[in-house]
Each structure stands twice: as structure tokens, then as C-alpha cells.
Amino acid sequence: MRFLKTLTNIAIITALAACSNSNQVPQKAPNKIQELQVQKQTKESSAFLAMMDEHSKSLLRLSPTSATSLGVSEDYFGMKFNDKIGDFSVNRIAKIRALRAEIAADMLEIDRALLTGTAATTYDVVASSLAMTEKFEPYIFGAFDALSIFTPYAITQLSGIHIDLPRALQTEHPLENKENVEDYLTRLSLIGEAFTDYADVVRYDAKKGVTPPKFAIKGALNVIDGMTSGLPIDNPLAVVLDNRLKAVTTITMKERAAYVKRAASIISEKVYPGYTNLALALNETLVNAQTEAGIWALPDGEKRYELALKNYGAGDKTPEQVHQLGLSEVKRIQAEVDVLLQSVGRTEGDVMTRLIALSEDPSFLYPNTDEGRQALLTKLNAQMEEVEVLLPNILLTLPKANVEVRRISVFEQDSAPGGYYTGPSLDGTRPGIYWINLKNTADWPSYTLPTLTYHEASPGHHLQVSIAQEIKDLPMIRNMLWSSAYGEGWALYAELLAKELGLYKNDIYGDIGRLQSELFRSARLVVDTGIHYKKWSREKAIDWMHKNTGESVASTTREIERYSVWPGQATSYKMGQIRILELRKIAKEKLGDKFDLREFNDQILISGSVNLSVLSANIQSWINSKT
């Protein structure tokens, strides 16, 4: 759909008749000019936001499960969508590229100078996103997205259709009545065909020379094996349906059993064969896949990584500069950890030997049992309640949406990251969820848990995402865009805010956990550039990170394998945090006594997710408005 400006030509009054009273000051002309200018700005801003709304719908039609995840209405969408999953064939690539080009062309029809408020910020965010994806277009195929590039690979051990679609049905599809259940079963029946279609996407990528490392393909195959090794009736897609329907009072036990039986039949007849076809394509690709962990092993690998770093917030920094920044930060934080370890009597050996010993101290570990896992989750909930009452000390705007902590499914935990967050639905029917990987509770010494909570829940991701979703005039497309450097940068900055709130005042070990978290994110700068720029092996990266962060070898292995298939993303945390702290320092220096931390933090959040360049411009504008 194309949008053309429909603003009418408005005559601007440039002169007025001379007033007979020479003492009168003519105020009418400038007021009229200002009024007409405001009208033009309002009209252009409204036209632009309407355009973005239509493009949002076009994007969501390509991905109906995203519409479900966001919680949009059928009226907004223009059709029923909870019984659809979208096109996952090779044709989807051309559709998405065409839509990106269409949005870019429509943007040229808008006069940016006339936009104000949310419209102006949205224009800048979308324009920046389009410029970035255009640069990626020659290098990304199956994983191409119109507005954001996450990974160059269509499927890995961590991401792809084999994980995303089953997860969407299990955790996001509504199951409150019989119509919802029928939609669930319809979607379930479409998954097998989607997997089969996506097998061709995997082959298409391979022909273009874009294959993930062998260990990533094997990891994806392990996920598929985990989802297909049992009887259909025991598959998570049937078990979750059964469990969730127990809470639906309008569905009898007999009806529930019939629904679950139908689900098992669909899984057997359609889902499992689809998984088999996808696994076949992955096994074909595995034969000639790269053995190296880094993107440098792909065609144009150096260019691909240069783009990846820019995409994730490095700006004009070279890979070498990012690497050296990481080494510098690691050294600084290790020195701070050393001081705290000495303060609690841990003085024998070098700082990392002591930190690793601390992480393995049984007194800080939960039993790796169901009871131990539940005790850990209970503690996390208590920590979330504790920080909630302190948020007014660092913010003026507070979110309304709730957040829950849940365990990552056992079917995903082998390859999933340690923790992550998924936002609440826009309609309020689903809370924000803070997910934690509890495969091995030894990955989570108790002193590290507060910082994880502050990062994933409040004042981190949940607070950030919820505030953005509650912006009244935020166009839908902004809820679909995520800047990792902004989002992860805020969450890492939020860990520091927790310290400033006094949450570690009487908890030295917790503060060590906070520093270890920052050390972990700083080390990512080193290993990400090490893998993708300096051509480190997977094993060298694992060894370096384990020895320099104190994280367990098992946890570090999963992390390094994640960085290998998400080039540049691991750098976004520290790059974003550094920029937010730089902006805070600038604001303090320029505003002096007028600086208010709560107001500054609000300014970071109240415009929603933006890239770092837009964030910097917004903060500078705010500073100017106060001086």
C-alpha cells in the first residue's frame, strides 16, 4: 500500500494592514502563522502514524502468531488470525523484502521536519531500522526481516521455526473457550506443513553459503529429537493443552480428553512428519557446514560482522576497539571484585580463582532437585516484591502490567540461554514473564539471583517493556521493534540502579554477584570479537570466558554457542549501558542542580525502544528544554 501526502496548500499570511494606533503591537500575524504551522504538523504526524499503522498490519499478516503474542484484536487486524500461522516457504523471503522496500518508499513521501512527538521519534526509529536492513539485504536470506536483523541463520539451536512455533502455541495462544481450542488445533495442524516448507528455506540458505556451525545444526536436531522422541500423547503440545484446559470451567473433563486426543492425532499425522522433513534438510546441510564458530568463515564474513556490530550498538567502533574496550572493562571489574572478596575474608589465590571457588561453594547452591528449583523460584518472587516498592525512588512513570517468573521448559533448557524476558500482551491478558533456565541449579548460586531479577524484571526489562506498551499514541510498529543495545543496555544499567536503590547495602555477596554480572557482559565484548573477528575457536572462547568470569563451564559453553550464532548481539548489553551512563553524565554536567535522576530515567523509557542514536538525540533535546 502506498501513501501520498494529502495535505492541502495553506496560504500563510505574511503581512497585515498597518494599525492606526502606533502604540499597538500587532500580535495576530505571528499567532496565526503558528496556528497554521501546528495544523500542518498535526496533519503530517497523523498521516505518518496512519501509514505506520497500515504497515504494522501488513507485517503482522505475515506473522499471525506475532499478532497473538502482542494481543491485538481482530478488529485491528481486519480478520481472524488465531487460527493461522503464516507463510514459512521460500516465497516469504521475497514478500518481506518487498514490504521493506514499500515502507521505505512511503517514508519518502513524509516531510520529517513537520513531525512532532511520537511521530517524530517513530520516523527516526523506523528510518534507522530500514537503513540497517537495507545494508544487510545482500547477506541475509532465510532470517531476513523487514525492520530488524537478529541473526544471519534461519535456524540454530536457539532460534527458528522449530522452537518459535511450538513455544507460541504453548505459552501465548489463548485457551479460554472452545473456539480458542479449535483455533489451537487448527494451528497445530498447520505446523507440519510449515516445517516442511522451512526445510526448503534451510536448503536455500545453504546454497547461498549461509550455514550455521556444525554444533548449532546438531543442537537444532537435538531440539527436534526432544520434541519427537516420545509418544504423541506425551508431546508438550498435547500435554500443555491438557494442563491449560483444566482451568477452563466451560469445558468438561470428557471434552478436554477428546481435545487432547485430537491434538495427539494431529501431532502424529502432521507435526512429526513435518519435523522429520525439517531434520532431513538439516542433516543434508550438516555435511558441508562450517566447523568454525565465527561468522568470518562465511562468504564476506568480515563485512557481515562489521554490520552485526553496528546493528547491535557499536557505532563507529571497530572490532579491535570493541575487543580492547572489553579487556579494559574486565580488568576494572575484576579489581573491584577483588576488594569485595577480601572484605569477606576470601584472600587466597588470584581474584578469578577465588570467584570461581565462590560460585562452587555449596552454601550458595540450591539442590538440583524439584524442591531446590521451587525454593529458587520462591526466592525470585520475593526479590521482585522487594524491589517493586522502591521503584518510585528512581522513576516518575511506573508500569501497570504484572510480571511472573517461570522455568524454561525442560524441552528447551539444553540449548536455551540462562534467562530471558517476554513482554505482556497489549490487551493485558498475559503478564510479562521472566524465564529462568533451571536445568542445573548450580548455574545460579544464590548470591547471583538478585541481579538476574533486577535485569529481567524490575527495574530491568519488565519495567522497560511495560512502560513502552502503555504509551497511549505509540503505533503498533513500535511494539514490534526492539533495539538490543537500548533494551539490554537499560537492563544492565538497571542492575546499577538497584545498587543505587540500596538493595546491596547489607549484601556484600549480592554486590559481588552484581559485579560478576557486569564482568560477564564485559567479557562478552572480548569473546564475541574473539570468535567473529580474531577467529578464536569455540574451545578457546569457552576457556577464556570461564577463567575470566567465574561462570561454570557448562553455562559458559551454552553462552559461547549462543554468541556464535547471534554475531554481535552479546556486545549490545555493555555498549548500551555505556552510552546510557555517558548520557547521564552529560545531563548531570549541563543541568547541575536541575538534574533529577527520576526524570532522566523517565526520559530513557517514555519514548519506547529506540536505537542509541535516536536515544542520544532525545536526551539532548530534553537537556536543551531545561536549560
Contact 59, 146 (CB under 8 A): yes
Contact 123, 51 (CB under 8 A): no
Q: How far apart are CA 240 and CA 365, in angstroms?
A: 30
Let me know if residue 181 belongs to a domain: yes
Residue ranges of E strands in 81-173: none
Contact 84, 132 (CB under 8 A): no
Q: Are residues 100 and 181 in the same domain?
A: no
Q: Are residues 431 and 479 in the same domain?
A: yes
The phi, psi pair for 432, rounded to 5°, reads -70, 145
Q: How confident is the model at residue 593 (pLDDT cuts 50, 70, 90)?
A: very high
Let me know if residue 433 belongs to a domain: yes
Q: How confident is the model at residue 29 (pLDDT cuts 50, 70, 90)?
A: low
Q: Are residues 390 and 477 in the same domain?
A: yes
Tally the C-alpha atoms within 13 A of residue 453's C-alpha that lie toward its C-beta: 25
Q: How far apart are CA 243 and CA 469, in angstroms?
A: 29
Residue 13 is predicted with a pLDDT of 27
Let me know if residue 609 belongs to a domain: no
Residue 419 is predicted with a pLDDT of 81
**What kind and span of H or E run contains 70?**
helix 64-70
Is pLDDT of 19 > 70?
no
Q: Are residues 270 and 334 in the same domain?
A: no
Is pLDDT of 171 > 80?
yes
**What kind and span of H or E run contains 433?**
strand 432-436
Helices (DSSP H) in 389-483: which residue ranges? 449-456, 461-469, 476-479
| Per-residue pLDDT tens digits for 344-375 | 999 999 999 999 999 889 999 999 999 999 99
| Per-residue pLDDT tens digits for 427-458 | 778 888 889 999 999 889 999 999 999 999 88
Sheet holding 403-407, edge to edge: 403-407, 432-436, 419-422
Is pLDDT of 4 > 60?
no
Is pLDDT of 141 > 50?
yes
Residues near 515 by Cβ (< 8 Å), separated by ≥ 6?
A: 333, 336, 337, 340
| Per-residue pLDDT tens digits for 282-308 | 999 999 999 999 999 999 999 999 999
Residue 30 is predicted with a pLDDT of 62
Contact 250, 176 (CB under 8 A): no
Mean pLDDT, residues 137-143 taken together: 97
Residue for grid cell 525470585: 380
Residue 28 is predicted with a pLDDT of 52
Q: How confident is the model at residue 147 (pLDDT cuts 50, 70, 90)?
A: very high
Q: How confident is the model at residue 55 (pLDDT cuts 50, 70, 90)?
A: very high
**Neighbouring-strand partners of residue 434:** 405, 421
Instruction: Examine the fold and report which residue of 136, 170, 190 is the final residue of a domain before the chain moves on.
Output: 136
Residue 12 is predicted with a pLDDT of 28
Q: Are residues 449 and 559 in the same domain?
A: yes
Residue 555 is predicted with a pLDDT of 84
Q: Are residues 366 and 485 in the same domain?
A: yes
Q: How far apart are CA 604 and CA 607, in angstroms?
A: 7
C-alpha cell belonging to residue 302 = 568480515
**Nearest to 228, CA basis, from 296, 279, 174, 161:** 279
Is pLDDT of 11 > 60?
no
Is pLDDT of 21 > 50?
no
How does 568-600 read in b/e, with b if 16+ C-beta sit within 10 Å? Answer: bbbbbbbbbbbbbeebbeebeeebeeeeeeebb
What average pLDDT does the chain have? Answer: 91
| Per-residue pLDDT tens digits for 240-259 | 999 999 999 999 999 999 99
Instruction: Examine the fold and report which residue of 93, 121, 136 is the final residue of a domain before the chain moves on.
Output: 136
Residue for grid cell 472452545: 178
Q: Are residues 508 and 543 in the same domain?
A: yes
**Nearest to 337, CA basis, from 358, 353, 355:** 355
| Per-residue pLDDT tens digits for 172-197 | 999 999 999 999 999 999 999 999 99
Let me know if residue 4 belongs to a domain: no
Domain residue limits at 506: 306-579
Q: How far apart are CA 22 and CA 275, in angstroms?
A: 86
For helices 117-136 and 91-107, give the axis angle rounded to 10 degrees. Answer: 140
**Neighbouring-strand partners of residue 403:** 432
Which 3 state secondary structure label does DSSP give 519? helix
- How many Cβ atoms sit within 10 Å of the Cβ of residue 2? 8
Instruction: Examine the fold and report which residue of 291, 320, 341 is the final residue of a domain before the chain moves on.
Output: 291
Is pLDDT of 3 > 80?
no
Is pLDDT of 621 > 90?
yes
**Nearest to 56, CA basis, from 117, 102, 7:** 102
Residue ranges of E strands in 114-244: none
Contact 352, 424 (CB under 8 A): no
Let me know if residue 11 belongs to a domain: no
Q: What are the contacts of 37-40 at 24+ separation with CB within 8 A?
A: 39/10, 40/7, 40/10, 40/114
Q: How far apart are CA 473 and CA 110, in angstroms?
A: 19
Is pLDDT of 76 > 60?
yes
Q: How confident is the model at residue 627 (pLDDT cuts 50, 70, 90)?
A: confident
Residue 420 is predicted with a pLDDT of 84
- The CA R_g of the chain, rounded to the nearest whole Å, is 26
Q: Are residues 468 and 331 in the same domain?
A: yes
Q: Are residues 382 and 519 in the same domain?
A: yes
Let me know if residue 301 belongs to a domain: no
Q: Are residues 336 and 282 in the same domain?
A: no
Mean pLDDT, residues 137-146 taken together: 97
Residue for grid cell 507485517: 59
Q: How confident is the model at residue 16 (pLDDT cuts 50, 70, 90)?
A: very low
Q: Are residues 360 and 450 in the same domain?
A: yes
Mean pLDDT, residues 513-517 taken together: 94
Let me know if residue 513 belongs to a domain: yes
Q: Are residues 324 and 427 in the same domain?
A: yes
Count: domains in the chain: 3
Residue 443 is predicted with a pLDDT of 86
Is pLDDT of 386 > 80?
yes
Q: How confident is the model at residue 415 (pLDDT cuts 50, 70, 90)?
A: low
| Per-residue pLDDT tens digits for 517-572 | 999 999 999 999 999 999 999 999 999 999 999 888 888 998 999 999 999 999 99
Helices (DSSP H) in 360-399: which residue ranges? 370-388
**What kind and span of H or E run contains 435?**
strand 432-436
Mean pLDDT, residues 199-203 taken together: 98
Residue 111 is predicted with a pLDDT of 96
Let me know if residue 1 belongs to a domain: no
The phi, psi pair for 405, rounded to 5°, reads -105, 130
**What kind and span of H or E run contains 309?**
helix 301-311
